[in-house]
Structure formats: C-alpha cells, structure tokens
Amino acid sequence: MSRAIVRNAPYTRRREEPAVNEQRYRESERRLWRSLGVTPTEQLVRLPRIGVTVRVQELGQGPAVVFVHGGSNSGTSWAQLAAQLSGFRCVMLDRPGCGLSDPLDARFDDVKALGTFAEALIVDVLDAMQINKAHLVATSFGGYMVLRTAAAHPERIGRMVQLGWTIGAPTAGFPLIMRITGVPALAWLMTAVPPNERMVRMMFRSIGLRQALDAGRISQELIDAYVALLRDTDTMRNEIKTGPRIIKLWGMNNSVLLPKTLLTTIRTPVYFLWGQEDPFGGEDIAREFVKALPNCELEIMPGAGHAVWLDDPVQVANTIARWLSDTTDAMRTEHREVFAEGTEV
C-alpha cells in the first residue's frame, strides 16, 4: 500500500483562486493552539479514491483516533478536545472543501451519492496514512459519515464516539440561520456578508452554546479562529456549492435520514454524548435514535448544546478516553443512559 502523504510540509492551496487570506487564517489557528499549550503537526494527504488532497493535523501519541467535524468547520474545531487527549494519536481531518483542504469538483445531487462519498472518505484517509484500524470521534455531518463508514467497513473501525445530534437522525428543527442555507439564493447571499465576531457568537448561541458563552467557557481565541475560518477560507462557499440539500427552509430533508435497516447492522461499540439543550434534537430524539444501534450507550449532558465538547472539554475528553480505552467489545443487549446525577436508567 503506497503512502500518499507529505509530513510537515508547508501547505500551498492548489486552486486558481486562493483563500481570501490564508495567512490570516493560519495565524488565528496558531493563536488558538498556543492558548492551549500544544502544537499539532500538519500533513497533506492525497485521497486517491476521492481525488483530492486534504489537510490533516495530528496531536498526541497512542491509539489512532480520527476526528470528523461537522458542516462549515475544520479539524481545528477539535482543538480544545484534542489538547486533553495526549494518550491518543488525534488525527484531525479538514473534510474536502473545508479549512485548508482542496474542494471537490462535483456536488452531491442525491443522498445515494452522499452515502457513497461518506463510506469512501474515512477509509481513504486511513489507507493513505497506513492506519489499519482507528477509533472515530464525530459530530453532526461528520456523525453521518462515520455511521455510514461503520456500516460499510466495520473491520476498519475500533470504537466510536458521537458528540451531539447527528445528521441522519430525526430532528426537532433547525435554527433559522441554518434553514436559510436551504434556499440557494439566500445561502449565496450569506457568503457575501463578511463574517464577524457578533455573527459567530449569534451562531454559537443558536446551536445551544448560550450557557458556555455566558460563563466564559468559550475562549476569545476560539471565537477568532472560527471568524477567520468563515472569513478567510472558502469553507462556507464550498459547502454550499458541493453539499447536498440536507436542510430545507422548512427543516430537514427527510431523504437523508439513516434507515433502521442500516443502523441495526452497525456492530461498532458507539457512545453518544448528547447535549440536553441540543436545538436539533433533545433527549426524546436521542433515546429513540440510539434504540436502533445494537451496541450503543447514551449519555445526556445537562445544559449542553450541540457542540458538547465546548461546554466542558475536560469532562468530554475524560468520557472519550474512558470509552476508547475499554477493551470490552461484548455486545450490549440494553442501552445504558447516564444522567448528571450519575444514575443509570
């Protein structure tokens, strides 16, 4: 197996139109990592099946854990979490078209094409980096991708952690700012508005991070890094250009829901850490969704929103480390739900 990788090489975008300001984006990333007291290595990985080059950042040593981010984000979104997981080799991918990865040439016109892409992406990354088997941590759109991967390629997956609601699950609704992206003309209009701190704070509040913001648990460096991602890279434009119409003005495109016939085939041990205040779906949706997964545990995190690791990075990191270190792979016949009090139901 050939290793299509360049270690620690300076990254140069292979595009006719460069990012708005890649240097400024990189500096915002460096400030965030410095504030956490760690420095990741950076790699370029050529994905032969998908046909693009993606950026991968790595931190820590130990069992490989691939982190797959959600929509309009990047691998750096995992910085607070990866900084707490030094006992693992944290592999943080910029999905194609996001962060500093090359964009895809074509868009996904239907859910079948999206599913095929999802099943190929993670395996492509593992093959290119010569990782035979890895744990997976994902959220939102990334959650959809790793569930599809676990169903199609179970032999490549160790254990899985899902953080918050995932695309493919039923939803209670979408914040208005996200439903607007379901209208192509309005979505493109959004990309013409220069992102700023006020907009990002509003977006964070809309996904249930109000308590974390008000308590000062989300650092200024993280806010600045996300502003820079939206302002200084083509991430949002690429997501709108190539992504399927997952979100409509009225809510979820139901064709993207993961069928129970697929979920019941997933034997990978899965831990769902789901925010109680996740606006996409709360406790009821969480409990109903995990019933279809035969080897799954669910924890409801009180007061947390969609990006639960930003509410409490240390707690979430400890949960991930404990779950990924568990060598018990026996099938569980019942779902265990854990609440703040530590009780199980």
Q: What pLDDT, on a 0 to 100 scale, did the predictor assign at position 244?
A: 54
Compute CA distances 52 → 136, 186, 344, whole Å. 21, 28, 45
User: Taking all residues of the chain, what is their mean pLDDT, rounded to a whole number?
Assistant: 86
Least confident of 9-18, 160-169, 192-201: 9-18
Band the pLDDT of 5: cuts 50, 70, 90.
very low
| pLDDT for residue 8 | 38
Q: Is the pLDDT of residue 187 over 80?
A: no
pTM given for the model = 0.87
Compute the C-alpha angle 175/181/183, nearest 5°.
Answer: 120
Q: pLDDT over 90 for what percent of the chain?
A: 69
Range name among 13-22, 117-126, 136-145 with the lowest pLDDT average: 13-22
Question: pLDDT value at position 345?
Answer: 38
At 338 the three-state DSSP class reads strand
Domain count for the chain, please give it.
1
Instruction: Report which residue type is found at 95.
Output: R
In a domain? residue 120 = yes
- The predicted-structure confidence for 254-285, as pLDDT tens digits, reads as follows 778 999 999 999 999 999 999 999 999 999 99
Confidence band of 327 (pLDDT split at 50, 70, 90): confident
Structure tokens at 89: 């080799």
Asked whether residue 343 is domain-assigned, the answer is no
d(CA 49, CA 201): 37
Average pLDDT over residues 199-211: 93
Contacts of 272 (CB under 8 A, 6+ apart): 162, 286, 290, 296, 297, 298, 299
* Residue 106 predicted with pLDDT over 80: no
List, in sequence order, every beta strand (DSSP E) within the chain: 5-7, 41-47, 52-59, 64-68, 89-93, 134-140, 157-166, 247-248, 251-252, 270-275, 296-301, 337-338
**Model pLDDT for residues 130-186, shown as the tens digit of each residue:** 999 999 999 999 999 999 999 999 999 999 999 999 999 998 876 666 656 666 666
Q: What is the number of helices (H) and of strands (E) in the chain?
A: 14, 12
Residue from 191, 130, 190 nearest 156 by CA: 130
Mean of pLDDT values over 26-32? 98
Distance CA 66, CA 73 (A): 15
Q: Quickly state the pLDDT bin for 4 (edges 50, 70, 90).
A: very low
Pick the residue with more confidence: 6 or 134? Answer: 134
The C-alpha atoms of residue 214 and residue 320 are separated, in whole angstroms, by: 25
- Judge whether residue 245 has pLDDT over 80: no
Taking CA atoms, 293 is separated from 67, 147, 161, 245, 260, in Å, by: 21, 10, 13, 26, 8
Do residues 32 and 225 lie in contact, with contact meaning Cβ atoms separated by under 8 Å?
A: yes
Flag whether 345 is in a domain. Answer: no
How many angstroms separate the CA atoms of 302 and 134, rounded?
Answer: 29
- Stretch 223-244: mean pLDDT: 86
**What is the rounded average pLDDT of the residues 94-105?**
93
* Cross-strand bridge partners of residue 53: 46
d(CA 133, CA 141): 21
Is the residue at 182 inside a domain?
yes
Whether the CA torsion 326, 330, 331, 335 is positive or negative: it is: negative
For residue 333, give the CATH number of its domain.
3.40.50.1820
Q: Domain of 160?
A: 5-338
**pLDDT above 80 (res 337):** no
**With 70 as the cut, is the pLDDT of residue 19 above it?**
no
| Tokens standing for residue 170 | 């039923």
> Is residue 344 a part of any domain in this protein?
no
Asked if pLDDT for residue 297 goes beyond 60, the answer is yes
Please say if the pLDDT value at position 243 is more than 90.
no
Q: Please name which of 50, 71, 94, 98 lies closest in space to residue 234, comparing C-alpha atoms.
A: 98
DSSP conformation letters of 15-69: SSS--S-HHHHHHHHHHHHHHTT---EEEEEEETTTTEEEEEEEE--SSEEEEE-
